[in-house]
Amino acid sequence: MKNTIAERIFDFLKDFPPFHVLSKEQLYDLSKNVKVVYLQKDQYAFKTDESIHNHFYVVKDGAVGIFREEDHALVDECDEGDIFGLRALIRKGNYILSAKAIEESILYSISSELLEKIINTNAQANKYLLASFVTNIRNPYSNENKDSLFAQVESIQKKESDFTEVQSAQYSKNPITCLPNTTIKLAAKIMSTNRVGSIIITKKEKPIGIITDKDLRTKIATGQFSIEENVKKIMSSPVITYPENITVAEAQIAMLQHRISHLCITESGTSDSKLVGMLSEHDIVVIHGNNPSVLIKEVKRTKTADDLKYIRTKAQQLLHGYIEQNIPVFFISKIISAINNSITQKAITLSIEEMDTPPPTSFGWLALGSQGRKEQLLLTDQDNALVFENISKEKYSQTKKYFLSLSDKVTDKLNTIGFEFCPAKMMASNPQWCLSLEEWKKQFNNWITKPDEDKIMLCTIFFDYDLVYGNKNLIDEMSESIFESIDRYEIFLNFLGLNALKNPPPLSFFRQFLVEHSGEHKDQFDIKARALMPLVDAARLLVLSNNIKDYNNTVLRFEKLADIEPQNKDLYLSCSNAFKILLRFRTQQGLQYNSSGRFIDLKSLNKVDRLKLKGCFKPIKDIQELIRIRFKLSQML
Amino acid sequence: MFEWLKNKNYPNFWNVYQNHFKNKTEHDLNTARFVIFDTETTGLDTKEDRILSIGAISATANTMDVADSLEVYLKQATFNSQTVEIHGILKEGSIIKIEEKEALIQFLDYIKDAILVAHHAAFDIMMINQCLRRQNLPKLKNKVLDTGILFKKLDQCVSKNKLYSLDELCSVFNIKKHDRHTASGDAYITGIIFLKIIGELSQARKTTLQSLFYNPNRRGLL
* ipTM for the assembly: 0.88
A331 in Cβ contact with A253 (< 8 Å): yes
Q: Which percentage of chain A shows pLDDT scores above 70?
A: 86
- Decide if A31 and B178 are in contact by the 8 Å CB cutoff: no
Residue A553 region, left (φ>0) first, then alpha (ψ -120 to 50), else beta? beta
Q: Is A264 left (phi over 0), alpha (psi -120 to 50) or beta?
A: beta
Q: Which of A105-114, A453-462, A520-529 has the weakest average pLDDT? A: A520-529
pLDDT band at A409 (very low <50, low <70, confident <90, very high): very high
Give the least confident one: A162-171, A217-226, A605-614, B57-66. A162-171
Q: Which residue would you say has higher pLDDT here, B203 or A8?
A: A8
Å between B195 CA and nearest CA of chain A: 7
- Which residues of A are less than 8 Å from B200 in CB distance? 40
> A154 pLDDT exceeds 50?
no
Confidence band of A130 (pLDDT split at 50, 70, 90): low
Is B90's Cβ below 8 Å from some Cβ in A?
no
Q: CA-to-CA distance for A334 and A340, rounded, in angstroms?
A: 10
Torsion of Cα atoms, A494 then A497 then A498 then A504, to 10°: -160
pLDDT at A513: 44
Q: Decide if pLDDT at A335 tops 90.
A: no
Q: Report pLDDT digits (tens) over B89-140.
A: 666 566 788 999 999 999 999 999 999 999 999 999 999 999 999 999 999 9
**CA-to-CA distance for A458 and A487, rounded, in angstroms?**
19
pLDDT of residue A541: 92
Which residue is closest to A11 within chain B, CA to CA?
Answer: B178
Q: Strand pairing partners for A387?
A: A364, A435
Q: How confident is the model at residue A291 (pLDDT cuts 50, 70, 90)?
A: low
Residue A105: closest C-alpha in chain B: B196
Contacts of A35 in chain B (CB under 8 A): 63-67
Question: Is B196 near chain A, with CB under 8 Å?
Answer: yes
Helix (H) or strand (E) holding A369: helix A369-372
Q: Where are the alpha helices (DSSP H) in A92-201?
A: 112-121, 123-136, 143-147, 153-157, 184-194
pLDDT at position A600 is 81
The more confidently predicted of residues A99 and B161 is A99
Question: Quick one: pLDDT at residue A134?
Answer: 47
Cβ–Cβ under 8 Å, residues B135 and B102: no
**Substitution target from B37, B62, B73 for chain A, most A beta carbons within 10 A:** B62
pLDDT at A522 over 90: no
pLDDT digits (tens, 9 = 90+) for A578-605: 999 899 888 888 888 878 788 887 777 7
What gap in Å lies between CA A325 and CA A249, rounded to an integer?
9
3-state secondary structure of A197: coil
What CA–CA distance (Å, rounded) separates A63 from A82?
A: 9
- Angle CA(A617)–CA(A622)–CA(A627) in degrees, nearest 5? 125
Cα(B70)–Cα(A32) distance, integer angstroms: 11
Instruction: Indicate yes or no: CB of B71 within 8 angstroms of CB of A35.
Output: no
What number of residues does chain A have?
637
Render pLDDT for A175-226 as a digit per residue (tens, 0 to 9): 889 999 999 999 999 988 888 888 999 998 899 999 988 888 888 888 888 8
**φ, ψ (nearest 5 deg) of residue B134:** -65, -25
With an 8 Å Cβ cutoff, are A36 and B66 in contact? yes
> Phi/psi of residue B49, each to 5°?
-80, 160
Distance of CA B167 to the CA centre of its chain: 17
Residue A9 near chain B (CB below 8 Å): yes
pLDDT at A145: 32
pLDDT at site B79:
59
Q: How far apart are CA B56 and CA A2, in angstroms?
A: 12
pLDDT tens-digit readout, A356-386:
999 999 999 999 988 888 888 887 788 999 9
- CA B56/CA B72 separation, integer angstroms: 9
CA distance A344 to A346: 5
Contact A579, A532 (CB under 8 A): yes
Check CB contact under 8 Å for B185 and A9: no
Q: What is the mean pLDDT of residues B21-48?
A: 90
The DSSP call for residue A385 is E
Element containing residue A58 per DSSP (H, E): strand A55-68
Average pLDDT over residues A503-515: 59
Give contacts of A36 with chain B, Cβ < 8 Å: 63-66, 188, 191-192
Does this model's pTM top 0.80? My answer is no
Mean pLDDT across chain B: 85
Q: What's the pLDDT at A251?
A: 77
Q: Judging by beta carbons within 10 Å of its beta carbon (0-12, 13-18, 19+), is residue A121 exposed, middle or buried? A: exposed
- Tell me whether A235 touches chain B (CB under 8 Å): no
Q: According to the model, what pLDDT value does residue B35 have?
A: 97
Mean pLDDT on A597-619: 77
Angstrom distance (rounded) from CA A258 to CA A256: 6
pLDDT of residue B65: 95
| Three-class DSSP category at A504 | coil
- The residue that leads in pLDDT, A322 or A489, is A489
Answer whether B195 sits within 8 Å of A38, measured CB to CB. yes
Q: Inform me whether the pLDDT recorded for A551 exceeds 50.
A: yes
CA distance A90 to A137: 13
CA distance A117 to chain B (A): 17
Tell me how far apart the 2 most distant CA atoms of chain B are, in Å.
51
Judge whether A396 and A436 are in contact, CB under 8 Å: yes
* B71–A1 C-beta distance less than 8 A: yes
pLDDT digits (tens, 9 = 90+) for B177-193: 777 778 999 999 999 99
Q: What is the pLDDT of residue A375?
A: 86
Rounded to the nearest integer, the mean pLDDT of chain A is 81
* Confidence (pLDDT) at A286: 57
Question: What number is the average pLDDT over the span A23-48?
Answer: 91
The pLDDT score that the predictor gives to residue A170 is 66
pLDDT score at A164: 43
With CA atoms as reference, the chain B residue closest to A39 would be B62
Q: How confident is the model at residue A165 (pLDDT cuts 50, 70, 90)?
A: very low
> What letter would DSSP give residue B74?
B
Residue A3 has its nearest CB partner, among B71, B73, B96, at B71
Whether residue A4 and residue B66 make contact (CB cut-off 8 A), yes or no, is no
Q: Mean pLDDT over residues B28-43, rounded?
A: 92
Exposure on the CB side of residue A369, measured as CA atoms within 13 A: 18
**H-type helices in A463-503, by residue range?**
472-488, 491-500
Residues A507, A154: Cα–Cα separation, whole Å: 22
